[in-house]
Amino acid sequence: MKKNKTILIIYVIVFCVGICFAYIMLTREIKKHKNAPVIDFANGVDIEVKDISFERNGLFLNGKEYNANGISGYSKFHYKDSYLELESINVPFILRKQKQNDTLKIIKDEKEMYLLVSKEIEYRKNGGFEINRY
């Protein structure tokens, strides 16, 4: 009986430590995401992208994480009459957005591709479900 109580106490302690660890890691990630530079409507962006990655649902440009409001590797940029996913566009390219504008541009080899940021944010808020996304 004493052995069962000891095992139960160990399980409770490990469970509580696990809950505390998960809470601390979650709050740390939320704080890091809030403090990251934001790609939004109010601010302009002009970045020459030499390295891009999408680690842990984040957008990393040149090794720096950005709070991209739902822009991911699956975001589709308009080019002529077709779409290109962000992760399929090879670096280097220029990522540009003007202030008070919701159009994100990628300029690569004299070609411009566009993403409407407001549509992307709306799409992500709806859980990725929208029949007529574009």
pTM for this structure? 0.65
Apex CA 38: angle with CA 34 and CA 41, to 5°?
130
Stronger pLDDT, 69 or 92, i.e. the higher one = 92
Cα distance between residue 37 and residue 5, in whole Å:
50
* Confidence category of residue 24, pLDDT binned at 50, 70, 90: very high
**Given this model, what pLDDT does residue 36 score?**
77
**Given this model, what pLDDT does residue 18 score?**
95
- Tell me the pLDDT tens digit for each residue of 71-109: 778 888 888 888 888 888 888 998 888 888 878 888 888
Cα distance between residue 102 and residue 79, in whole Å:
17
Q: Is the pLDDT of residue 49 over 70?
A: yes
Collapsed DSSP state (helix, strand, coil) of residue 15: helix
**Given this model, what pLDDT does residue 76 score?**
84
Contact 76, 115 (CB under 8 A): yes
- Domain boundaries along the sequence of the chain: 1-35, 45-125
Return the number of other C-beta atoms located less than 10 Å from residue 75's C-beta: 21
DSSP bridge pairs for 2 = none
